[in-house]
Amino acid sequence: MEATEIRKLAALEDTHWWYRERRALLARALRRLAASGQQPGRALDIGAAGGGNTRVLRDHGWRPVALEYSPEGAQVARERGLNVIRADARNLPLPSDSLDLVVAFDILEHFDEDHLATAEMCRTLRPGGTALIAVPCDMRLWSAHDVAVGHVRRYDRESLRAVVEKAGLVVDELWSWNVVLRPVAAWRRRKSTGSDLDDLPAVVNLGLRAIITAERYLPVKSLPGVSLMLRAHRPTHP
């Protein structure tokens, strides 16, 4: 992602409906992990950019590190008081079996060798550790936005599951997100000429936030959306 896009993301993520709901989804996933008995430990937020998700991890008792490849993104995260390392997700500078949780939201689609990134997630997770992954889905939604933010693909359920399982992780849950607003996203992507990371009018932002929040309570996770979410774990036995 270009430096200008990272700065734009950092400026928008505190208020923009899309980023707010993504943080809410992460927070809910963390609460579910706690309810299942997984205690907060060491966490890695891959592709942290402005560090919004890293702060969610910290607020839920985890000891997170923000990993960012670009110098601009790393600087933004440092400015926000986060522990940051600069590195490539395909070659993590961390010991094997050293993490309890890895979060990789909108990262895999940036790599031709996405299997190397998932293999590194598996290597650095301790047995029983959790991976939370989000990716854009459906090549029918491919647009100038994807080009502007450096995507090389959009996933379907089969391709996402395959790259995660190839790494040695076990998929626990795979579901669609941003289903209700998919028709709006498809219409906008057809008209787009670049990134759709925009500062929206307050009333529009509030309306979209209400819609995406309502989706939490609707039985739509199996329907086509704009993103795919996945929870997996490293098995305790080979």
- Express each pLDDT in 76-101 by its tens digit: 888 888 999 999 999 999 999 999 99
Question: What is the pTM for the complete model shown?
Answer: 0.92
Q: Which residue has the higher pLDDT, 50 or 166?
A: 166
- The residues, any chain, with a CB within 8 Å of residue 163's CB and separated by 6 or more, are 108, 114, 115, 118
> Do 156 and 137 form a contact (C-beta atoms < 8 A)?
yes
pLDDT given for residue 186 in this prediction = 86
Phi-psi region at 104: left, alpha or beta (left = phi > 0; alpha = psi -120 to 50): beta
Predicted local confidence at residue 73, as pLDDT: 79
Q: Return d(Cα 135, Cα 153) in angstroms, integer.
A: 10
Q: Per mean pLDDT, which range of 11-20, 160-169, 176-185 is the poorest? A: 11-20
Please check the confidence at residue 1 and state whether its pLDDT lies above 70: no
In the chain, what percentage of residues exceed pLDDT 70?
Answer: 93
C-beta of residue 84 within 8 angstroms of C-beta of residue 48 = yes
- Per-residue model confidence as pLDDT tens digits over 62-81: 999 999 988 887 888 888 88
Token representation of residue 104: 């990789």
pLDDT digits (tens, 9 = 90+) for 126-136: 999 999 999 99
Q: Give the mean pLDDT of the chain.
A: 91
Q: What pLDDT digit, counting tens, does each position of 168-198 carry?
A: 999 999 999 999 999 988 887 777 656 666 7
DSSP codes joined into one string, 209-236: HHHHHHGGGSS-TTS--SEEEEEEE--S
- How far is Cα 5 from Cα 131, in angstroms, rounded to an integer? 26
Determine the pLDDT at residue 2: 54
d(CA 45, CA 84): 10
